[in-house]
Amino acid sequence: MKTVCFDIETASADELYTYGSGFCRLAGYALGDGPVVLTTDMDELCAVLRSADRVVAHNAIGFDLAALEHWHGLDVGLLVGQGRVRDTLLMARHIDPPLSGSIDARRYGLDAIAKRLDLVGKLTTGGESTLKGLADEFGGYDAIPTDDERYRAYLVQDVEVLREVSTYLGFDEYLRREHQVMWRLNHITRYGFKVDVGEVQRRLTAQAQRVAVLRESLGRLYGLPTTGKAPQRSKEGIAALERAFVDCGVEPPRTDGGSLATNKDALAALLDEHPDNVALIELVGVLRAISRERSVVQTIGDHTALDGRVHPSVAARQTSGRISVTKPGLTVLGKRDRANVLERSLLLPDAGDVLIAFDLSQVDARAIAAHCQDPAYISAFEPGKDYHTEMAVELFGDPGRRDDAKPVTHATTYGMGAKGLAASAGIGHFEAQSLLNTLDARFPELARFKKEVRTRAERKGLVWNAFGRPVRIRRGSEYTQAPAAIGQGTARDLMMEGVLRLPMWLLPCLRAIVHDEIVLSVPSDLADEAEEAVLRALQFNFRISSGATPVPILAEKSDRGRDWSDCYRSEKDRWPEVDRSHRELSMCDDADCTWHGGLAP
DNA sequence: ATGTATCGCGCC
DNA sequence: AAAGGGCGCGATACAT
């Protein structure tokens, strides 16, 4: 068994796919227990890795191997496919999964893992990372001389820490699969997503003008400061707004924490209470308008590289195992709100391509159905049946109340109480409680499963789904988090199952993943084949064990888009501006059109 | 200068 | 006893 631990010093990490061939600067590797060898010759390193039975690195799939694959032609797909790669980041997340929230963000660096294991950590100088200090001293990670002894010593230590840490981390079938998943998803980062650069600039300019007008109004009418990017959120601005509410004759709305609430629900509630207060209507109008101004266009622009594309980071860092797509965050672009849906139109297919989005149908609920094995719940997902209609029959005895049944599904997966259901469904507390009772009565195995998974979480602090993914559950939050963790975590693994089933030729076409949706840019003349291949990959029967009743996993494809919004033109046919052809018209007769009503040049 | 918390926008 | 889960990102305030 020949094991190689290695690490590479590079130019700035966020330039992985854009820097150029000198990105990899200095490599360190160790064979077995042998000494750490340093080299600037990446071909030498690649040869060593090709001949190894085990290739070990921290964030190997996302970074070191990715860099060698991109700039030096290493066949990482082969290494991963043969199960020869050990990525200690993926292994550490699996053996010690993160809690939700931001607390755990720094837990998985090599240094943090070493410290938790009571091992020697990475090299530091005067309390900060030696590497960071060198980058500051020489003016950039790509300016540190490769013969600098401190640089070399830092790298040697890194490889030695890695070697120590790796002996504590186990490997299993799930991890083997996870390595392949992440290698496949990395194509999103590598190939990037084409940006409509001119349109980004145009919208930024237009937005700056809108904001300037709104800020001028806030200053003139209510005495807010006019400096800073968001004067309405500064201390002085908040004080002025509180005075403005009082001047309108109303008590300033408050958040739970007692500070001034300016979110849209609070403002809507206030207007409901005082429908005839003209001064209040004006104040709320300006506040709403300025808080609706989002910065996603700026964020996309900031992350657009010189190749005119964004190369977002893709990682399974969320507690549920869900995939984060960040820098820029593509999971948050508009879709449900008419005012924001055109944010996606800034992202384009490659020249000669079309964009196609594929989404899994009610996949969280199907995941729960497969796990609980409730016959009535599973039968709602039989081919040819409509899940929400079946739920309407079970809950109300009336297939016509499909829309009333929809919000209840969230209650099934997320442990929603009567209060929350009443609020989200717009019904009374009593009716909500009675719905929840009906749910438990009609789907007894579902109720039993939720109870069981909560108990498991209380005992172990973790739950495991049928794929073998562990999800950590916060103490005291088992009631809501545990069932949700099975739903989300399994939905994630079902989508990844589909990604693993994609033919290799489609991997460079991957552009984005948004939990239950993947987006591909495919050559127009291959669109038929691509659609067929993706749907074949994403759809299958899911069985949690050999004797269990299977649940069908189904997917739908979008329209072929000339931009990402354009993919949804049929789905959102009430919003004509979603259709790129509509945006090419010089005018339109829909008074609410967000394009002709404001965004158009 | 850098990091965390809070708030607010949005998404699945 | 009651309990809707998971995120990204920007702006500000404040601590270090």
pLDDT tens for each residue of A13-72: 989 999 998 999 999 999 999 999 999 999 999 999 999 999 999 999 999 999 999 999
A429 sits within 7 Å of strand B by its CB: no
Report the pLDDT averaged over residues A313-338: 91
pLDDT above 90 covers what percent of chain A? 69
Q: At what angle do helices A402-414 and A418-425 cross, to 10 degrees?
A: 150
- For strand B, list residues 79-98 of chain A whose Cβ lies within 7 Å of it: none
pLDDT above 70 covers what percent of chain A? 99
Q: How many beta carbons lie within 10 A of that of residue A140, not counting itself?
A: 11
Decide which of A229 and A454 is more confident: A454
CB A78 within 8 A of CB A87: no
- For strand C, list residues 134-163 of chain A whose Cβ lies within 7 Å of it: none
A281 sits within 7 Å of strand C by its CB: no
pLDDT of A103 reads: 63
pLDDT of A353 reads: 98
Q: Which of A511, A581, A497 is nearest to A540 (CA)?
A: A497
The tens digit of pLDDT for each residue in A345-400 reads 999 999 999 999 999 999 999 999 999 999 999 999 999 999 999 999 988 999 99
Instruction: Enter the tokens of residue A154.
Output: 């830092």
The tens digit of pLDDT for each residue in A190-214 reads 999 999 999 999 998 888 888 888 8
> Which of A86-90, A137-141, A408-412, A440-444 bottoms out in mean pLDDT, i.e. has the lowest?
A408-412
- CA torsion A374-A378-A380-A382 (nearest 10°) is -160
Looking at the predicted structure, is the pLDDT value of residue A11 above 70? yes
H-helix or E-strand spanning residue A355:
strand A353-360
A257 nearest nt, CA–C1': B6
Looking at the predicted structure, is the pLDDT value of residue A479 above 70? yes
According to DSSP, the β-strands at A54-57 and A85-87 are: parallel
Report the pLDDT averaged over residues A140-146: 94
Chain C bases near protein Cβ (<7 Å): 2-14
A363 nearest nt, CA–C1': B12
The terminus-to-terminus CA distance of chain A in angstroms comes to: 64
Chain B bases near protein Cβ (<7 Å): 4-12
Residue A520: pLDDT band with limits 50, 70, 90: very high
> Any idea what the Cα angle at residue A387 is, between residues A385 and A388, rounded to 5°?
125
A263 sits within 7 Å of strand B by its CB: yes
CB A491 within 8 A of CB A321: no
